[in-house]
Amino acid sequence: MIPSRLPGIPRSQEIIDRAFRQSNRIQDFYKKDYLEKDKIKSIQKIQVIEAVARATLKRIVQGYPQNNDLTDFERNMAYLLFDFESYERSLRRLKWTMNKISELATEYIRKIKSASEVDKVDTLRKAFYGRFSSYIEDLEDYLDDLREIRLLLREIPYIDEKLPVVVIAGFPNVGKSMLISKITHLKPEIASYPFTTKKINLGILEGKLGKIQVLDVPGILNRKKRNVIERKALIAIEKVANLVIFIIDPSETCGYPVDEQEKLLSEIKAIGKRVIEVENKSDILKRNNERLKISALTGEGIDRLINLVEDEINDREIKGNSGI
């Protein structure tokens, strides 16, 4: 599972500045022997710098999911959205740097302890500062990578595996987002051009027998090679859907011919999930066939659709239980 709060990713310079700023806050104290005082102060500064950098890197390393923390759906989405190996490499590099900085601090503290002149202590302290900074500066590309991936991880919705999932699918512009806005509290963007929805939207339908997760997904075209946006929809159907509401727009105001939409429907049915077929935009055109007619715009047929969804879901649960 992807944590709901993924730590923000600072820039290298911010980590360096934060560490030095904290080290400058160390209280001054009186000690007669100047060499001793310089040693204690230098050691304290190194310890603070190490602790601040370590804490920052640790928060990131521990706050981001590993491959086996992910559900099947999350993993498939992550593989689709970014290069997972490079993500793992970046996390490993942060961890490596975290250890290197601790080793560096230990090494310089030991050297400072055995120094016999103030000048030597100052040189050692400055050498630590330089090497510390370059370790953190070397993280810049990895931090940039993680900052981008953070946004992509955040777009993957959390699916509660204990609750049923209904995916609303179909060609672009057929009214999927308008439908989810009618059956859940979600208010996604609705517009009269294709691919308005580029990410998966999750809404909750408060059913009579409990909550049902409803996913409004991007439109899918009837073609072999699909882009990343279309593939998000397919992953949702394949990996988490218990039921699919497939919307056909017979009015073709979506901009796509009905026979293309029918071909996509056949392909989706072949995935093997249960499918409720509906024809939307019934306020414009109602064809003479068996399918449920709805209008996401006027609300016509929406109550019947919700009843059908609930019947299908509950039917599955009864069958599921008796199958044990």
Instruction: Give the interface with ligand GTP as residue ranges (CB under 6 A).
Output: 172-178, 190-192, 194-197, 218-219, 280-281, 283-284, 295-297
Distance (Å, whole) CA 228 – CA 141: 24
Of 16 and 202, which has the nearer Cβ to Mg ion? 202
Q: How far is the CB of 231 from ligand GTP (least distance, A)?
A: 14
The listed partner (ligand GTP, Mg ion, none) that binds 172, CB under 5 to 8 Å by sort, is: ligand GTP
Q: How far is the CB of 177 from ligand GTP (least distance, A)?
A: 3
Concatenated DSSP letters of 88-146: HHHHHHHHHHHHHHHHHHHHHHHHHHT--SHHHHHHHHHHHHHHHHHHHHTTHHHHHHH
Per CB under 5 A, 197 contacts Mg ion: yes
Phi-psi region of 211 (alpha: psi -120 to 50; beta: other; left: phi over 0): beta
Closest CA to 168 of 152, 151, 154, 182: 182
Q: Which of residues 138-177 bind Mg ion (CB under 5 A)?
A: 176-177
Residue that has been written with the tokens 């963007």 in this structure:
189
The listed partner (Mg ion, ligand GTP, none) that binds 271, CB under 5 to 8 Å by sort, is: none
The listed partner (Mg ion, ligand GTP, none) that binds 284, CB under 5 to 8 Å by sort, is: ligand GTP
Q: How far is the CB of 173 from Mg ion (least distance, A)?
A: 8
Amino acid 162 reads K
Q: How far is the CB of 179 from ligand GTP (least distance, A)?
A: 7
Q: Which of residues 109-128 bind Mg ion (CB under 5 A)?
A: none
Contact 148, 156 (CB under 8 A): no
Of 45 and 176, which has the nearer Cβ to Mg ion? 176
Q: How far is the CB of 197 from Mg ion (least distance, A)?
A: 3
Of 135 and 171, which has the nearer Cβ to ligand GTP? 171
Phi-psi region of 160 (alpha: psi -120 to 50; beta: other; left: phi over 0): beta
Residue of this chain nearest to ligand GTP (CB atom): 175
**Rounded to whole angstroms, what are the CA distances from 251 to 180, 245, 279?**
20, 18, 9
Point out which residues bind Mg ion (CB under 5 A): 176-177, 196-197
